[in-house]
Structure 1
Amino acid sequence: MRLPGDRLCQHRRETQVNQVDTGTRIVVAGAGYSGLHVAQRLGRWLSRRSNARLTLIDQHHYHELVTELPRVATGTREEEATHIGLEAVLPDQVNFMQTAVTEIRPAERLVETASGDVKYSHLVLALGSTPNDFQIPGLSERALYPYTSDGARGVWEAVNLSVRRAAEASDPDERQRLMTLVVGGGGPTGVEIAAGFAEELPELASRYGVPPDLCRTVLIEAGDSILPGASPALVQRASEILQELHVAVRTGAVIIGATKEGLRVRGGELVRGGVFVWAGGVKGPQILARSGLPTGTNGRLEVDRYLRVLDHLEIFAAGDAALVIDPDTGRVLAPLAQTALEEAANVAHNLPAAVEGKPLRPFRFHDKGFVVSVGSRKGVAAVAGLTIGGRLAHALKDAIEWEYRQSVKHLRGWGAA
């Protein structure tokens, strides 16, 4: 069955659904940070191999800038501004199919899509992730997820609706509840959204005739501190900025349930609010578990040091879908854009090497630093051993986002090293 809006954008006419040729048939599933960059980096290599074809499959016609979605969720950026059209940045040698991937069938070397089956000789799984609610009762029904542009837009729409209802409410307690925004998860996404809410909510309240002093933003983190894994100095600076913005930060607060009225934390307290945003983590999409491929923590694919899925040397995985362990620390790498891009570069080297029988390169993560916006003017960063806080850190975040957009354009036609 063909879904509405599905389409096949062909840069080369030879590749069709249900391919029957016997050449190298590479399929990249997912056009996020890792999938898009694998496809881009293989462009030049493909131009040198007449019997090699690459098909990129994604349900959207655009690449989504996930790191910018907190701005959509807080009303400071339009949803469309986080999209980069794929046709404009893909090499001519890459075929693009806009359709949904529905199943992976490794035994048959086949990707099942809403537009038909696609055979492969080599597969790159870069299907991203889905929100992880950790099976907290009621959370999936009550919370909003900011991990897609649609979801982020829905968050800001819900905030507007809650403020509008507060303006109409006659009961003071109900009005205060509706004017309280609660964010679960104190990682980078949660911190950025909470800070953005604290800045934007008073202006929105004034627009609807609600006293700005009723505005309240609560950030709940189960761990001992926000920004888990960051240095104490960086956490301290971020906490200070959040305090300046009057964000109520609750650490060591484990959410055990969600109701219409609020989030229940361990110990019995109910944190009441009008809007609940869950930024507490992600997991591998269910399609990975259904495939029978080996998965580990949070449903992510287990891979070897070359980023090949265990026991399936023809399948590579990168980005949020891959469970990659840093050999230097023994820790699982966090599902971040920086990690996805480095993994993509490694896959773009190793896949052609595997096809040509050349040595593969073990993946090694090179940490370039950590940058988080905390509001529209300040941020925190850990770069080159230095901890930076304030306007300079925010400017650095803006510069990184701008540079990434430029790199996507310039990588069109890039060859694998």
Structure 2
Amino acid sequence: MKNIVIIGAGYGGLTAALRLERLLKKHSFFKVHLIDKNPFHTIKTQLHEAAVRKTEVSIPLYKILKNRNIQFQLGEVENIDVENKTVQINDKLLPFLFLIIAIGSKVNYYNIPGMAEHSFALQSLHDADKIYEHISNVCATSASEKDESIRKNNLRFVIGGGGLSGVEFAGELADHTSKCVANFNIANNDVEIILIEAAKRLVPFMEESFSSRIEKKLIEKGIKVLTDLKIEQRTDDEIFLSNNSVIKSKNLIWTGGIRISDLIKRGGLKTSTVGRLIVDEYLQSESNKHIYAIGDSANAINPVTRKPVPAAAQFALQQGRLAAENIYAEIFGRVKKKYYPKVLGEVVSLGKHLAIGWLALPFLKKITFVGFLGRLLKTAIREKHIFLLRKESRNWITY
């Protein structure tokens, strides 16, 4: 029995496992193994909703893998032995013929003093649950606080990082705090939301016109936006900024950056400066052709721009399908396909009923959505992801 092992049941890893199982259905000599530390798949693009509204954003893996010839392994990979072609999981060795690394990313605190100890991250379902409980408790306890200064400090929420996650969380939180005001009879001006971004504008990877529109919409929601400022230190109740100002708050949600697990580097594989596996045009490791990487784990290069493809769900899904098809081609001596990322569009959610985005059209054109139409597009993209999982797994998946 020859094993094909996929580490990570995120967007890319799960797609790769399902596609490989379908391709190898008539070849019983091969076995697909999927490894993840959680027994569920998280829809990470919706984590900001779970953190504020307790929205369901996880799907049990047994629902997706039902009746599929995929061996799921619950646990974390501790080591990749490239030379002997094994991975170590739960103190056991699992040999592989091919390996797909799709382990996603972790929080990057950039060694900011006190940040890891005194902030909330938003990278996992567990993180979202912690934030939801904290916000609920803050609203409830602040209602009975008589001291106005203490009450305002308690109700000051700061988001560190104005990228996609930070912006979407800020928009969602602004909607939720209105309920906090109504349910607990708290004055509107007692609640403050501050969004801090180190770059000169929000979501700097998007076009400047979109960044400006996003900032305008957030300000209209009552959010204070601070750009070109860095958080230099964090204590239990204070945030020190690069302009020497200090913000009093016990509520700091950190969305300021991600890092890659050092698992790849420890395996002796060639990585980029940020720890991603350097891959060729087929998504194969440049240092070992039996190892592929996708999603956040891959330093995949866009052949048109010659720049690394950003970490995004749409690219992870595309890479998962391609890696599976190229492994199948490699096994049976067929021609492998080169990776060409397809940018389908970008949508930024700014609350329950508002979003800004664009959708790619033929002939290099695009259509822009603002407001409720943008929100409908965001919902459609999420449902498309669920539809693709249903299509790959042949199971009716609900969440």
TM bucket, shorter chain = over 0.9
Query: What is the aligned partner in structure 1 of residue 174 from structure 2?
Result: 198
Q: What are the Cα deviations for residues 95-145 of structure 1, in whole angstroms up to 9, with x where unaligned?
A: 111222222221221111116221111101111110111121111111111
1-side partners of 2:282 and 2:394: how far apart?
A: 24
Q: What are the Cα deviations for residues 310-343 of structure 1, in whole angstroms up to 9, with x where unaligned?
A: 2111000011111212121122221110110111
CA contact (8 A) 2:54 2:132 kept: no
Equivalent residue pairs, number: 389
Query: What is the aligned partner in structure 1 of residue 363 from structure 2?
Result: none
The one-letter code matched in structure 2 to 1:238 is I
Query: What is the aligned partner in structure 1 of residue 381 from structure 2?
Result: 400
The one-letter code matched in structure 2 to 1:186 is G
Q: CA deviation at 1:171?
A: 3.5
Q: What are the Cα deviations for residues 340-395 of structure 1, in whole angstroms up to 9, with x where unaligned?
A: 01111110111111122322211111100101111111110122223221110011
Q: What are the Cα deviations for residues 223-253 of structure 1, in whole angstroms up to 9, with x where unaligned?
A: 1111112122222221221111101011111
Task: Report the 3-state secondary structure (helix = DSSP H, G, I; strand = E; otherwise coil) of the residue aligned with 2:368.
Answer: strand
Q: CA deviation at 1:209?
A: 3.9
State how 1:152-171 maps to structure 2 within 5 Å. 152-171=128-147
The one-letter code matched in structure 1 to 2:102 is A
State how 1:83-94 maps to structure 2 within 5 Å. 83-90=58-65, 92-94=68-70
Q: What are the Cα deviations for residues 165-190 of structure 1, in whole angstroms up to 9, with x where unaligned?
A: 43344433222111011111111111
State how 1:265-414 maps to structure 2 within 5 Å. 265-384=241-360, 385-412=366-393
Query: What is the aligned partner in structure 1 of residue 98 from structure 2?
Result: 122
The one-letter code matched in structure 1 to 2:356 is V
State how 1:93-172 maps to structure 2 within 5 Å. 93-114=69-90, 116-172=92-148
Identify unmatched segments of 5+ residues in structure 2. 361-365
The one-letter code matched in structure 2 to 1:240 is K
Query: What is the aligned partner in structure 2 of residue 248 from structure 1?
Result: 224
Q: What are the Cα deviations for residues 3-50 of structure 1, in whole angstroms up to 9, with x where unaligned?
A: xxxxxxxxxxxxxxxxxxxx4311111110011000111122211212
Q: CA deviation at 1:76?
A: 4.9
2-side partners of 1:307 and 1:185: how far apart?
A: 30
Q: CA deviation at 1:396?
A: 0.6
Query: What is the aligned partner in structure 1 of residue 233 from structure 2?
Result: 257
Task: Give the TM-score, by structure 1 length.
Answer: 0.89
The one-letter code matched in structure 2 to 1:383 is L
1-side partners of 2:2 and 2:138: how far apart?
A: 54
State how 1:178-217 maps to structure 2 within 5 Å. 178-217=154-193
The one-letter code matched in structure 1 to 2:58 is H
CA contact (8 A) 1:162 1:275 kept: no
2-side partners of 1:287 and 1:272: how far apart?
A: 38
Q: What are the Cα deviations for residues 255-275 of structure 1, in whole angstroms up to 9, with x where unaligned?
A: 212111232221211122231
Task: Report the 3-state secondary structure (helix = DSSP H, G, I; strand = E; otherwise coil) of the residue aligned with 2:358.
Answer: strand
Query: What is the aligned partner in structure 1 of residue 203 from structure 2?
Result: 227
Task: Give the TM-score, by structure 2 length.
Answer: 0.93
* 1:29 aligns to 2:7 (yes or no): yes
* 1:238 aligns to 2:210 (yes or no): no
TM-align CA RMSD: 1.7
1-side partners of 2:234 and 2:368: how far apart?
A: 36
2-side partners of 1:310 and 1:173: how far apart?
A: 58
